[in-house]
Amino acid sequence: MNLIKETVKLASAGLTAVLITASTAGAITVANFSAEFDDADDLLRLSGDITSTFSTFNEIVFDWDGSLNNFDFSVASLLSSNIGGTLSAPAGGVSGGAFGVSGIVGQPLSAPLSFDFLVSIVGAGANFLSEQVDVGVCDDCTPGFIGGEVANDVGTPKRADLSAPAPVPLPAAAWMLIAALGSLFAIRKRAG
């Protein structure tokens, strides 16, 4: 964490003391950010590269202001992620308007890091298409946003036709096993 030292003179005693204060948010840099929203299917894709941070982090947070500031993201679910994790909402100790992805493989994380998340969000409607998104990282995204760094207004989602990942089909070997067991059962029933 970047520390700022300030020297304060105590006038009455003529003593000098050093106070250490935490850095201000804003150290994170995000490149190649893309946000797409499919309002017909309530799907949101967020991707980009976190190119630098002051320190390591455990969670990536997305925050909206305006009409989504109080939106309850607890109804959202993470459908796919290139780096694993689970969706946590609300995030960053705010009452609404934000969600995070935590439990990411390889914690603590550091820059550079590429992310690509597909999230199902029921009820937000086209509000995403007019709202700037902030991207943040933090060590402990509890109230107070401990160790948090934020890049404000990195982009506005654009309308897109997204689709949820297709369910994984039953492999051909499993179908063949089922057919073989059925045949054995039929032969045994005929013989006995």
Identify the structural domains of the chain with CATH numbers, from first to last.
25-159 (2.60.40)
Q: Are strands 59-64 and 133-138 parallel, antiparallel or unpaired?
A: antiparallel
pLDDT in tens, 134-173: 888 887 666 555 567 888 888 888 888 877 666 666 677 7
Q: How far apart are CA 103 and CA 117, in angstroms?
A: 14
Output the pTM of the full model. Answer: 0.68
The tens digit of pLDDT for each residue in 36-78 reads 988 888 899 999 999 998 888 888 988 887 777 778 788 889 9
Could you tell me how many residues make up the chain?
192
